[in-house]
């Protein structure tokens, strides 16, 4: 008797192992999916009842415990191994990956040729003669000055930018990134001059956008936990008071956050209304 099927082999095996502890023997038939077969149809009602509970909470510890008790290594199931790169690419779209690679490449070049040289090539326009070097209006976002700096920004870019690109499309991520890089860079240049860099203005725009978009339009599929948003605000406050002796681009952070919130408000205006 066919009971159900799973796409995930581990879930299929977990349910089989659990039912074995209840005295029910199920078999797994391999194919495009993993189909569960019951030999004794008189046990169908028990299996169906347990299956409903399993589907509601398949990660409950009792199912893992059952695998330790009754499972074995001779099930024949083949689990596909995944690499770190595969896990990164699973969440990141093409633009997310390109920007991550660009940030790392620029950071490596900064270690080779020096910060001053890379700033000379990529920093915010220093004078009117550089205004037509259009890449400068956004390329400052690729500059990072320490491992902590680049790790923090690239991680958040991957986590938030990847979600936006996967759920809302590459075009939406392009718009958020370009506008936030431009406006946050402009504001930071007003406050501290042109010698700054980092993806954090864009990251804060993504934080604001993803959080508010998730709050107002849950069906969009993007969201940021309120606790993480509170952390972002706390980091803004820490940066404002100059804690830990870090040189933090506060103007870029605040501007990026406001840009992201504004864009999310516009995108969800009709939904909210």
Q: Of 15, 45, 70, which residue is a domain's last? A: 70
Tell whether 78 is covered by a domain: no
**Residue 63: which pLDDT band, with cuts at 50, 70 and 90?**
confident
Residue that finishes a domain, picked among 48, 70, 92: 70
259 and 138 housed in the same domain = yes
pLDDT band at 260 (very low <50, low <70, confident <90, very high): very high
Domain holding 109: CATH number? 1.20.1540.10
32 and 164 in one domain?
Answer: no
CB 167 within 8 A of CB 134: no
Other C-beta atoms lying within 10 Å of the C-beta of residue 33: 13
Could you tell me if 142 and 199 are in contact, meaning their C-beta atoms sit under 8 angstroms apart? yes
Residues annotated as part of the active site: 200, 253
Q: The sheet that has 34-38: what strands, in order across it?
A: 2-6, 34-38, 26-30
Please give the distance of CA 77 from its chain centroid, rounded to a whole number.
Answer: 30
pLDDT of residue 33: 80
Report the distance separating Cα 263 and Cα 77, nearest Å.
47
Q: What per-residue confidence (pLDDT) applies to 137?
A: 96
- Residue ending a domain, among 70, 98, 116, is 70
**What is the predicted pLDDT for the residue at 96?**
96
Least confident of 1-5, 44-48, 79-83, 251-255: 79-83
Structural domain includes residue 59? yes
Domain that holds residue 233: 84-272
pTM of full prediction above 0.85? no
**Residues 138, 232 within the same domain:** yes
Burial 76-109 (b: 16+ CB within 10 A, else e): eeeeeeeeeeeeeeeebbebbbebbeebeebbee
Most confident of 61-75, 146-160, 234-248: 146-160
Q: Are 158 and 202 in contact (CB under 8 A)?
A: no
Quote the number of domains for the chain. Answer: 2
């Amino acid at each position: 008797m066919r009971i159900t099927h799973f796409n995930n082999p581990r879930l299929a095996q977990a349910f089989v192992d659990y039912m074995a502890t209840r005295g029910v023997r199920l078999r797994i038939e391999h194919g495009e999916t993993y189909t569960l077969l019951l030999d004794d149809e008189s046990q169908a009602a028990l299996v169906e009842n347990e299956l409903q509970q399993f589907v509601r909470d398949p990660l409950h510890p009792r199912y893992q415990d059952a695998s330790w008790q009754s499972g074995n290594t001779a099930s024949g199931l083949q689990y596909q191994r995944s690499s770190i790169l595969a896990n990164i690419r699973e969440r990141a779209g093409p633009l997310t990956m390109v920007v991550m690679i660009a940030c790392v490449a620029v950071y490596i070049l900064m270690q080779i040729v020096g910060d001053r040289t890379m700033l000379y090539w990529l920093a915010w326009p220093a004078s009117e003669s550089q205004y037509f070097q259009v890449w400068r209006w956004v390329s400052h976002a690729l500059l990072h000055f320490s491992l902590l700096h680049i790790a923090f920004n690239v991680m958040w870019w991957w986590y938030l930018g990847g979600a936006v690109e996967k759920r809302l499309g590459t075009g939406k991520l392009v718009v958020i990134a370009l506008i936030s890089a431009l406006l946050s860079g402009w504001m930071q240049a007003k406050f501290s001059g042109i010698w700054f860099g980092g993806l954090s203005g864009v990251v804060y725009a993504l934080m604001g956008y993803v959080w508010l978009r998730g709050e107002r339009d849950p069906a969009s599929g993007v969201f940021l936990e309120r606790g993480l948003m509170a952390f972002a605000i706390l980091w803004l406050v820490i940066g404002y008071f100059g804690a830990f002796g870090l040189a933090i681009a506060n103007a870029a952070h605040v501007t990026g956050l406001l840009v992201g919130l504004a864009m999310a408000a516009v995108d969800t205006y009709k939904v909210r209304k």
